[in-house]
Structure formats: structure tokens, C-alpha cells
DNA sequence: CTATTTTTTGAACAATTGTTTAATACATTT
DNA sequence: AAATGTATTAAACAATTGTTCAAAAAATAG
């Protein structure tokens, strides 16, 4: 095994890493079924047998990429939601900036993950449950407490739903917006920048 | 040609129709690439050569299904948005009920269409542009007029984005909610029923 | 009934798929 | 240097894919 022992140095970016990031690109763009092992190798500019050499199978490689995608989507805000010192409102402010920044860098992530979940193996579902960021977070506990005292109009689950919806659906529907000519890329980015501050405002109206 | 001339009567549900609705089921569940012509025929309980006999190719059949899906998603609210007699607020009330009812019957439609658009042919993009329901609607004209007069705080495009987001993302993320155990099917339906009236309320707060 | 058209079937096809294997090239160690 | 372990390659594989085609079956028309 090369991967496990790792006695050698990495020559520049190692073949293994080149394949992994190529897989990220191709899987994210085309999905699992429409992606071939040869596509990935071509993107990495390597012989296609190396994919199986380093990752054993297409499916194992996909699971790796999908798990990373889920972590990227959820972990980037996890500690933020569990911070005991900040108010729910402050959490919302930070969350929106943090998440939109991340999504602007990886705009295809939400659709990719939604598809991964829809046709998921147990392995991937497990990754999701273990990182069930929102519902087990201190953020939701705070909201439930406020809701219980009558100091929060909206049900916490609806609030979270609205927050995630307004943040991520524009990215899910990004290609639709672009291809219909509703917006161009520059305008899309500008609107997402606006939403960093607008969404917290709208959410607070609901609270 | 059988399809074009149609001299015969339809024996019960014709083979052609059985294939089309089977294709809807399988394509919507598994996507284009993961669907085989043999899967569709099996779902329709027919010989798999009939798929090509009636629809010439897998891709043409998919385009049919996708176009129908887009129409179902957009046409169900098109005339509603172009009604000159109703106020924007009334349109929003009706839209939310109408759309959530439709999505509860076809919950996989949004994710299916988003994927179709992301990897779309020109043919499908055309269908979208021609049914560009929102941005060319009288609804948006009304909003822009109000916004121009300073009688509408939120920018119309953000309003439409928020409306569509809060309505459709829960369906896109439906499998995630169910598989993580955040909600069960009964609770999901109940929440969507609540959102029929809540979303208009939240949107109006933003206006 | 006979003739004709339409529908259905099963076999065959070439292409593409993921995976394996054996040989070769390269790097490291002794 | 030789020996050993690792990385890379090309070829081959069995399976699956969409599509075609000719024959059989069923339905319709004359």
C-alpha cells in the first residue's frame, strides 16, 4: 500500500491528490452516474488505472468526495452555531456571511450534496446524521427556549428552514437564473453579497 | 408511424402512454444518466425495444419528460401571476397555496428540474426561457412600480428569490430532512401545510 | 377470410463501462 | 551496484449500455 505507509515524499502534488481534486471537479459538475473513471483521470491528466490503484473503486472515491462536500457545507458553520456566548441574532449575522462566502467559492456544492443525499448509501447518511449541525445545535436550543417563553413568534424549525432556504436555493437554481438570462454572473455575485446582510434583517422580522 | 396518425383506438392505457409515465417515474427518481432504457421498460412492464419504437431515443424521451416537468412547475402559477385584477399580496397568497399543493403531489420535481437545467441541452433551455414565468410577469411589473414609488422596501428580484426559496428548498432538501430524522413524512406534510399561510405573512413583512 | 398495416418480440450490434492483471519504469534502500 | 518496494502503463476482461433489425404476433381493412 502506498497511501497508508507513505514512506515517500509527495512529488509536487502527488498523483493521489491530483486524482482526488479532479474527482471533486468532475463529480460535482456531472454527478456520479454521468462521470466515468476515465473522465476523472483525464481531468487529472493521469493514466486511468491510477484511479483504481489509489482509491480501489469509483464508488469509494465518490463517497470520499461526497463526505468532504457534506463536511464543507456543514462544518464551516458548526462551531459558530454552538457558541454559547453569542445571541441567536448574532449567530444569524455571522452564519449568513460565512455561508454565502463559502457558497460563492463552491457554488455547485448544494445541488451536488442534495443529489448525493437523494440517492445515498448508508455511509453517506451516517456522515449527515453525525454532522446534523442545525437541529442539535445550541442555536436551536436558544430558539426553542425563546419560543417556549413566547419571545419568538416563529417556530424554530420554520426559522431554520427559511434561513437555509434563502441562503442556498439561489445557488441550487444558479444555472437556471444564468441560462434564462435573469441575471449574469456579475449580478448574481452582487446579489449574494447583498443577501449577506439582508437575510439576517428579513429573518429578524419573522422572529 | 403509429404516434402521428393515430388511426387506432387506445387499448386501455396505450403502450406509448405507459412508457411515458414510467419514464417520468424512473427519470425523476434516478436522473438521466442513472436511468436505463431497460429500467423504463421494466417499470412499464413492456419489452424494452418499445421505448425506441415509440420515442426514437432515450434522450428524446428524457427531453419530453423534462419539458413536461418544467411546464408543470411553472405553468401551474403562470396565469395567476399575470392576472391584472389582483394585488401583489393577493397573488402571493394564491401562489403559495397553489404551488405547495402541486409540490406535495410531485415532491421530487424541483430537484429533477434543477438537475435538468444544470446539464441542459439548448432544447430544454428554450423551454425555460419561453416560460420565464416570474421575470416577465405582471406580478413583477407591479412590484417594480411599487419599488419605484418607494412603496416597497425590498428589491423585487430579492422578493421573488425569497418566495421561491422558502417554497421550494424544503422539497429539494426533503430526503435530507427525512434521512437525518429531522422530520418524518407526516410532520413534513404538516409543516408544508403551515407554510401555505406562513410564507405570505413572512414575505409581507419584508415588503 | 385474405391482405395489409401496426405492434411486439428477441436477438444481435458496437460502444462504453469499471475493474483486474501483468509488465514496465521509477525511486529508495542496502 | 544490486535488491526491493512503489508507481505507472497498456492491454484485456466481462458486463452493461443504447440502438437497430428482422421475424412474429396482433389488429385492422378490404
Is residue A7 pLDDT above 70, yes or no?
no
- Same domain for B160 and B139: yes
pLDDT category at A8 given cuts 50, 70, 90 is: very low
- Same domain for B105 and B28: no
- Same domain for B112 and B43: no
Spatial distance between the Cα atoms of A200 and A64, rounded to a whole number of angstroms: 33
Interface probe with A: pick from B107, B134, B173, most Cβ of A within 10 Å: B173
A191–B contact, CB cutoff 8 A: yes
The verdict on a CB contact (< 8 Å) between A180 and B120 is: no
- Same domain for A181 and A94: yes
- Same domain for B113 and B201: yes
Q: Compute mean pLDDT per 10 residues along chain B, 207 residues long, and list them.
A: 33 86 98 98 98 98 96 90 97 98 97 94 81 86 98 98 98 95 96 98 98
Distances (CA, A) of A44 to A6, A48, A52, A63, A146: 21, 9, 14, 18, 51
Q: How many domains does chain B have?
A: 2
Q: What is the domain extent for residue B32?
A: 12-56
- Same domain for A94 and A148: yes
- Same domain for A76 and A45: no
Chain C: nucleotides below 7 Å from protein CB are: 6-11, 16-22, 27-29
Q: Is residue B64 part of a domain?
A: no
The answer to whether B205 touches A205, Cβ cutoff 8 Å, is yes
- Same domain for B74 and B47: no
What CATH code is carried by the domain that includes residue A132? 1.10.357.10
| Residues A28-64 pLDDT 10s | 999 999 999 999 999 999 999 999 999 999 999 999 9
- Same domain for B83 and B46: no
Q: Is residue B63 part of a domain?
A: no
B135–A contact, CB cutoff 8 A: yes
Chain D: nucleotides below 7 Å from protein CB are: 5-11, 16-22, 27-29
Distances (CA, A) of B114 to A3, A112, A173, B26, B177: 37, 11, 6, 16, 19
The verdict on a CB contact (< 8 Å) between B128 and A191 is: no
| Residues A89-113 pLDDT 10s | 999 999 999 999 999 999 999 999 9
Residue B48 beta carbon within 7 A of nucleic strand D: yes
The per-residue pLDDT for A127 is: 82
The verdict on a CB contact (< 8 Å) between B115 and A111 is: yes
The grid cell for A104 is 460563492
Count Cα neighbours of B61 within 13 Å in the Cβ-side half-sphere. Answer: 30
Q: Is residue A63 part of a domain?
A: no
State which H helix or E strand residue A148 sits in: helix A138-148
**Rg of chain A, C-alpha, whole Å:** 20
Amino acid at each position: 500500500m502506498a497511501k497508508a505507509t507513505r514512506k515517500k515524499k509527495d512529488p509536487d502534488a502527488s498523483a493521489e491528490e491530483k486524482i482526488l481534486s479532479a474527482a471533486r471537479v468532475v463529480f460535482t459538475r456531472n454527478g456520479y452516474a454521468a462521470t466515468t473513471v476515465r473522465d476523472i483521470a483525464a481531468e487529472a491528466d493521469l493514466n486511468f488505472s491510477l484511479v483504481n490503484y489509489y482509491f480501489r473503486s469509483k464508488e469509494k472515491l465518490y463517497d470520499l468526495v461526497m463526505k468532504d462536500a457534506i463536511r464543507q457545507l456543514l462544518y464551516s458553520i458548526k462551531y459558530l452555531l454552538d457558541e454559547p456566548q453569542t445571541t441567536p441574532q448574532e449567530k444569524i449575522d455571522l452564519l449568513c456571511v460565512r455561508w454565502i462566502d463559502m457558497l460563492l467559492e463552491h457554488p455547485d456544492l448544494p445541488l451536488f450534496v442534495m443529489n448525493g443525499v437523494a440517492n445515498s448509501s448508508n455511509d453517506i447518511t451516517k456522515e449527515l446524521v453525525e454532522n446534523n449541525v442545525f437541529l442539535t445545535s445550541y442555536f436551536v436550543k436558544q430558539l426553542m427556549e425563546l419560543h417556549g417563553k413566547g419571545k419568538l413568534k416563529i417556530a424554530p424549525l420554520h426559522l431554520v428552514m427559511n434561513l437555509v432556504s434563502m441562503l442556498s436555493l439561489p445557488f441550487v437554481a444558479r444555472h437556471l437564473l444564468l441560462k434564462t438570462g435573469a441575471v449574469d454572473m456579475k449580478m448574481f455575485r452582487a446579489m449574494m453579497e447583498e443577501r449577506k446582510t439582508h437575510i439576517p434583517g428579513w429573518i429578524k422580522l419573522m422572529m
